[in-house]
């Protein structure tokens, strides 16, 4: 995925690329895209599961925007201007679904392939290395997440919830969110021993989904809780997304972007190193 061709014969030809310096030599064959192709093939048989992923946030938007919205009326938006409830939660749902999809792909799916179907063991018997696997899986998760996000943005547009041209940037923002959570999720998976440990992931994901300003603004909390919520990664994803879709764009958004970029890099480095030691014992 880092620009060299399918036919690159030597796995360790690019020692100058900064990312590859932290990677054990011989663990990258530059063929991560074959993994993406495999995932696409596998999903062609489960197209219903694939398509259904698109509907989940749409159901939430319909139910919450319409039903709950009728209970609360308007809320203050990011820049203080009043905002309809549907327009308030839609970017939150977009960020949350990018998170959920990426975490699911990089934890349950990867763990299953790692421990049960032994898929990666079979791949490592070919020229592919652990880095190809990590990049391929993350690449697929991004592709899938990107399609879902584009679909959800289209629905938002149809409901008239996109009021600013900045909303165009919501798609790359969703990809960044997915990348950050996918990288951290994969790093976490490499430490998992059994399915029991996945409760911990649920324990991290669910509170974020519920409390990171997805459904109600930060102002409902007392100040100490606000500080806590502001540390959550999903909070930054939601605020970034809400700024873009409502057009309340300020330099402050860069802070959210920076948070997510740091997350992606740290998660990615840990994931690649851990996968290497796990797969090439």
Partner 1 sequence: MRTVTAPEGGGRVLPGWRAVLVVMEHFWIWYRRGWRATVVSSVVQPLLFLLAFGVGFGSLVDAGGGASQVTGGVSYLVYLAPGLLAMSAVQTAAFESTYPVMSGFKWQQIYWGMAASPLTPGQIAVGHLCWISARMLSAGAVYVLIIGLLGGVVGFGIVLSLLCATLCGTAFAALVMAFASVVRNEGAAFSAFFRFVLIPMTLFAGTFFPVERLPEWVRPIAWATPLWHGTELSRGAALGTLGWWPALGHLVYLVALLALGVGLVRRLFRRRLAI
Structure tokens at 237: 């994803």
- The residue among 22 and 206 lying less far from partner 1, judged by its C-beta, is 206
- The residue among 37 and 225 lying less far from partner 1, judged by its C-beta, is 225
- The residue among 85 and 181 lying less far from partner 1, judged by its C-beta, is 85
C-alpha 216/C-alpha 240 separation (Å) is 15
Residues 6+ apart with CB under 8 A from 2: 14, 17, 19, 20, 30
Least separation in angstroms between CB 223 and partner 1: 15
Neighbour count for residue 217 (Cβ, 10 Å): 14
Least separation in angstroms between CB 196 and partner 1: 6
Residues 6+ apart with CB under 8 A from 235: 208, 212, 213, 229
Q: Which long-range contacts (CB under 8 A, 24 or more apart) does 46-52 make?
A: 50/144
Alpha-carbon torsion, ordered 29, 262, 147, 90, to 10 deg: 170
Least separation in angstroms between CB 56 and partner 1: 6
- What does the binding site for partner 1 look like in residue numbers (CB under 8 A)? 46, 48-49, 52-53, 55-56, 59-60, 62-64, 66-68, 70-73, 75, 196, 199, 202-203, 206-207, 210-211, 215-216, 220-221
Helix, coil or strand: residue 37: helix
- The residue among 124 and 232 lying less far from partner 1, judged by its C-beta, is 232
Q: Which of 279, 281, 10, 235 is nearest to 137 (CA)?
A: 279
Structure tokens at 72: 């609360």
Least separation in angstroms between CB 11 and partner 1: 34
- The residue among 1 and 62 lying less far from partner 1, judged by its C-beta, is 62
Least separation in angstroms between CB 30 and partner 1: 32
Least separation in angstroms between CB 136 and partner 1: 22
Neighbour count for residue 159 (Cβ, 10 Å): 17
- The residue among 69 and 233 lying less far from partner 1, judged by its C-beta, is 69
Structure tokens at 21: 């310096």
Least separation in angstroms between CB 248 and partner 1: 20
Identify whether the C-beta of residue 188 lies closer than 8 Å to the C-beta of residue 278: no
- The residue among 48 and 125 lying less far from partner 1, judged by its C-beta, is 48
């Amino acid at each position: 995925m880092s620009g060299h061709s399918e036919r690159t014969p030597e796995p360790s030809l690019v020692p100058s690329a900064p990312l590859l310096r932290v990677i054990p030599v011989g663990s990258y064959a530059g063929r991560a895209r074959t993994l993406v192709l495999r995932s696409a093939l596998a999903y062609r048989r489960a197209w219903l599961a694939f398509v259904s992923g698109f509907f989940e946030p749409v159901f939430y938007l319909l139910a919450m925007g319409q039903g709950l919205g009728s209970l609360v009326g308007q809320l203050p938006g990011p820049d203080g201007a009043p905002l309809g409830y549907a327009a308030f939660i839609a970017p939150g749902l977009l960020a949350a679904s990018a998170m959920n999809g990426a975490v699911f792909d990089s934890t349950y799916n990867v763990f299953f392939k790692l421990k049960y179907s032994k898929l990666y063991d079979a791949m490592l018997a070919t020229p592919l290395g652990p880095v190809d696997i990590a990049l391929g899986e993350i690449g697929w998760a991004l592709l899938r997440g990107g399609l879902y996000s584009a679909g959800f943005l289209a629905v938002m547009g149809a409901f008239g919830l996109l009021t600013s041209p900045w909303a165009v940037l919501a798609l790359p923002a969703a990809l960044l969110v997915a990348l950050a959570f996918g990288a951290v999720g994969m790093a976490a998976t490499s430490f998992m021993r059994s399915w029991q440990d996945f409760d911990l992931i649920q324990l991290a994901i669910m509170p974020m989904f519920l409390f990171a300003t997805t459904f109600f603004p930060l102002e409902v909390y007392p100040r100490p809780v606000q500080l806590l919520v502001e540390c959550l990664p999903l909070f930054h994803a939601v605020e970034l997304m809400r700024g873009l879709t409502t057009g309340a764009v300020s330099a402050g958004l860069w802070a959210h972007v920076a948070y997510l970029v740091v997350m992606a890099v740290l998660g990615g480095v840990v994931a690649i190193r851990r996968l290497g030691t796990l797969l090439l014992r």
